[in-house]
Structure 1
Amino acid sequence: MSRSSFGNRFTVTTWGESHGKALGAVVDGCPAGLPLQESDIQYFLDRRKPGQSRYTTSRQEGDQVAILSGVFQGRTTGTPISMIVWNKDQRSKDYGNLAYTYRPGHADFGFDQKYGFRDYRGGGRSSGRETIGRVAAGAIASRILSEMGISLCTYTRSIGEIQIQSFDPQAINKNPFYMPDPLAADKASAYLEECMKNQDSAGGVIECRINGVPSGLGEPVFDKLDAMLAQAIMSIGAVKAVEIGDGTAVSTMKGSTDNDGFTVKDGHITKSTNHAGGILGGISDGSQILLRAHIKPTPSISQPQNTVTKDKEPISLEIHGRHDPVIVPRAVVVVESMAALVLTDALFTNMSCQMDKIKTFYNR
């Protein structure tokens, strides 16, 4: 299997399976001297781990991270940072009847067609548990970004048909859905109770606001910043669409409305509006980057579903076990982590885009 790595100058390679012994990541390209402890990474993993509420899987995993290399006396050494999280609560027997059955909405069929062999225990490499490595790496990237004055605020914009109507950043960590609107969170709770009663699941939208990004990040052709963000976010298994700025709404707008005018404020060039979401021509423009990820409903539901076996036998399948009725809350930190990885990589790439910057660095 190739392409388990992401990034150019700041790279992450994730490894491990849902029901294997452990999962983790190797981060390469992190500069020496960054203050980093396991607790910095654990904070991010705690936002992703299962068992946080009745609306997440009951699988009991502490997801405790251990740093194996690349950190000495609380600072990064500039060498690869290897991290591991041991699996503690696998129930592989829950998946015994799925060894030769293709689950609707899952990667089973495609994986089997590609490799002719698959780990059917919880989806193996295709499981959402793979994102542990992404989140651990994203925690390091976010630590770098904070040193540069760049902050990310990520939250649930909607669950099913319930959308936020207000924005209070202090409320995000005070409800199980990471919603900045307490009233919407209450409505989402009732909505999910109905879904669970009907043995069904829900999807939703995650929004990320990124402040402090300097202008000039991203490339003008293939490695556009918005293209790289879209690729990173779309690589998360449950994501089916990504929007930047006004997103799909631009298809119904006029140029006179969609264009962001430029002005001067406090001696700096800025924009009067931000329909573009902080990126123009694939390059950051210095304003807030706004992106949204659309998450599909959890495909593992207990309702009878029609499918077939590997031997082409039609069957009715009911999926039991421990599954999230909604993936969105636990995916919030995954979206944030992938965005942080893209921005960190873009920052490092941008350092060599002008000769003057190189000469300044080397005092020439």
Structure 2
Amino acid sequence: MSGSTFGLLFRVTNFGESHGPAIGCVIDGCPPGLALSEADIQPDLDRRRPGTSRHVTQRNEPDQVEILSGVYEGLTTGTPIALLIRNTDQRSKDYGNILDTFRPGHADYTYWRKYGLRDPRGGGRSSARLTAPMVAAGAVAKKWLQARHGTTFLGWMSQLGPIAIPFEDEAQIPLNPFFAPGTSQIEALETYMDDLRRAGDSCGARIQVVARGMPVGLGDPLFDKLDADVAYAMMGINAVKGVEIGAGFASVAQRGTEHGDEMTPEGFRSNNAGGVLGGLSTGQDLVVSIAIKPTSSIRTPRDSVNRAGEPTTVETFGRHDPCVGIRATPIAEAMLALVVMDHVLRHRAQCGDVALPVTPLPGSLPDAG
């Protein structure tokens, strides 16, 4: 199957299925000399893993990562880094009733039409479980970027279904199951999710993610722009149906006098561009927002067809997230880190020796080498 490798110089090849013996990835292009162990990767996997609250799937996977290659005496060697995550809590029998039918909103029908067969167990290759290896790879990229450039990544949930979540205090993000940046809406979110689960339904979410301490000049015109690659990466996350950079669709209602980010000797006055101009990073925060659709696997009976094209009704059993967006925050952070990491290496290869006659605007790093 093509389409399983992400990145140009920092390349991540993802493998496995939801109910196979293991999932994982191979990272090629990681610079040598980075101190790396499982302990550097596990915290992000723990943030993403299932079974962490009553509001997510109760599939109980420890998601313990194993480094199989590419690290010697605690340092990356520059050779491929193989990461393995074993599946331990599969319940394939839950999917016996959809062997010959297709769940509405899922990839069942399209996989069958494309490949002539499909793995129905937990969605097989189309499962959101395959985001775990990308989170592991993203943790490697995060560590290198922070050590080399001071670049950090922060994500949070800004909307769950119809409930908008105001940004109040980023210190609260790791302290609640919704990755919400504040406490004012937690009770409402808990109630909404409990009602949703009892109804056998699902909802969508909006996730915001920011890269701080961005180097200037990342990106390549015309068709490898930084924001284009960010959108490409985010649309590769399961259930993502929309991506915004900076002001995004709100820029439609803005005027040029408002949207254009004025510059002063002290720095930019605003960041409607989301940290990207002409496809190149400005050194400001790289600001991304994604829209995640409602989970397709739900208990409520839905009309569908079988492989013979006959009408039928589908009711999905098994353990599923009523809102896949709840666990999407570390995934969005990881994908953004992979894009930035790849572009830093690409910039270093072409423009690492570019000398500028003036210093960058305050808040911008001098180069991406």
TM superposition score category, shorter chain reference: over 0.9
Q: Secondary structure at the match of 2:110?
A: helix
- Which residue in 2 is equivalent to 1:16? 16
- TM-score under structure 2 normalisation? 0.94
Which deviates more from structure 2 when the two are superposed, residues 192-201 or residues 227-236?
Answer: 192-201
In structure 2, give the amino acid aligned to 1:261: E
The whole-number CA distance in structure 1 between the counterparts of 2:95 and 2:327 is: 22
Shift of 1:354: 3.1
How big is the shift at 1:355? 7.3
Matching residue of 1:39: 39
For residue 139 of structure 1, what is the amino acid of its counterpart?
A: A
Q: What does 1:87-98 align with in structure 2 at a 5 Å threshold?
A: 87-98=87-98
User: How far apart in 2 are the matches of 1:50 and 1:116?
Assistant: 31
Tell me the amino acid that sits aligned with residue 189 of structure 1.
Answer: E
Q: Pick one of 329, 349, 360 that aligns with 1:332.
A: 329
1:60 corresponds in structure 2 to 60
Amino acid corresponding to residue 11 of structure 2 in structure 1: T
Range that drifts further, 346-355 or 84-93: 346-355
Name the structure 2 match of 1:178: 179
Q: Distance in 2 between matches of 1:68 and 1:262?
A: 48
1:290 to 284, 287, 296: 287
Match of 1:300 in 2: 297
Q: Is this contact kept in 1: 2:246–2:287, CA < 8 A? A: yes
Shifted more, 255-264 versus 161-170: the winner is 161-170
How far did residue 132 of structure 1 move? 1.3
Tell me, in whole angstroms, the C-alpha distance in 2 between the residues paired with 1:346 and 1:184: 37
Classify the secondary structure of the residue corresponding to 1:356.
coil
**CA shift for structure 1 position 166:** 3.1
Q: Where does 1:304-323 land on structure 2 (aligned, <5 Å)?
A: 304-323=301-320
Which residue of the partner structure matches residue 69 of structure 2? 69
Alignment of 1:356 with 2:353, yes or no, is yes
How many residue pairs were aligned? 354
Q: Provide the aligned C-alpha RMSD in A.
A: 1.1
Inter-CA distance 239–33: structure 2 relative to 1 (3 Å threshold): same
Alignment partner, residue 167 of structure 2: 166
Aligned partner of residue 353 in structure 1, secondary structure: helix
Report percent identity of matched pairs.
47
2:119 match: 119
Q: Which residue of 1 aligns with 2:225?
A: 224
Taking the aligned partners of 1:315 and 1:356, their CA distance within structure 2 comes to: 63
Alignment partners' CA distance in 1, 2:9 and 2:79: 13
| CA deviation vs aligned residue, 1:84-110 (integer Å, no higher than 9, x gap) | 011101111110111111101100111
> Which residue does 1:361 correspond to in 2?
none
- Structure 2 CA distance, aligned partners of 1:310 and 1:256? 56
Q: Secondary structure at the match of 2:264?
A: strand
The one-character-per-residue Cα deviations of 1:27-74 (angstroms, maximum 9, x if unpaired) are 010011101110111111111111000011111110111000001111
Aligned partners of 1:351 and 1:357 also within 8 Å: no
Distance 1:91 1:355, change over 3 A: closer
How far apart, in 2, do the equivalents of 1:182 and 1:193 lie?
18
Contact 1:196 1:325 in 2 (8 A): yes
Q: Distance in 2 between matches of 1:167 and 1:229?
A: 26
Kindly state the Cα deviation for residue 185 of structure 1 after the two structures are TM-superposed.
2.2
Query: What's the secondary structure of 1:101's corresponding residue?
Result: coil
Greater displacement, 301-310 / 193-202: 193-202
Q: Deviations over 1:294-326 (max 9, x none)?
A: 111111111110000011111111111111111
In 2: Cα distance, 1:194 partner to 1:292 partner? 26
Report what 1:344 is aligned to: 341
3-state DSSP of counterpart to 2:232: helix
CA distance in 2, matches of 1:191, 1:228: 34
CA contact (8 A) 1:15 1:23 kept: yes
Distance between the aligned counterparts of 2:201 and 2:326, measured in 1? Answer: 17
Q: Matches of 1:312 and 1:126 in 2, distance apart?
A: 22
Where does the alignment leave 5 or more consecutive residues of structure 1 unmatched? 359-364
SS where residue 123 of structure 1 aligns? helix
In the aligned structure 1, how far is the partner of 2:274 from the partner of 2:353? 29
Question: Structure 1 355/32 Cα, relative in aligned 2: closer, same or farther at 3 Å?
Answer: closer
Distance 1:92 1:356 in 2: 54
Alpha-carbon contact 1:304-1:317 (below 8 Å) kept:
yes
Aligned to 1:81: 81
Q: Deviations over 1:311-349 (max 9, x none)?
A: 111111111111111111211111110000000000000
Instruction: Give per-residue Cα distances to partners, 1:107-133, cap 9 Å, x unaligned.
Output: 011111110011011110000011111
* Counterpart code for 1:98: I
Whole-Å separation in 1 of the counterparts to 2:339 and 2:286: 12
Task: Tell me what 2:361 maps to.
Answer: none
Structure 2 counterpart SS, 1:205: strand
Equivalent residue number for residue 132 of structure 1: 132
Q: Any idea what the Cα deviations from partners look like across 1:157-181, whole Å, max 9, x if unmatched?
A: 1101111223211100111101012
Instruction: Find the counterpart in structure 1 of residue 364 from structure 2.
Output: none
Letter in 2 for 1:2: S
Q: Which runs of 4+ in 1 moved over 4 A?
A: none
Q: Distance in 2 between matches of 1:199 and 1:95?
A: 17
Deviation at 1:253, TM superposition (A): 1.4
**1:243 paired residue number:** 244
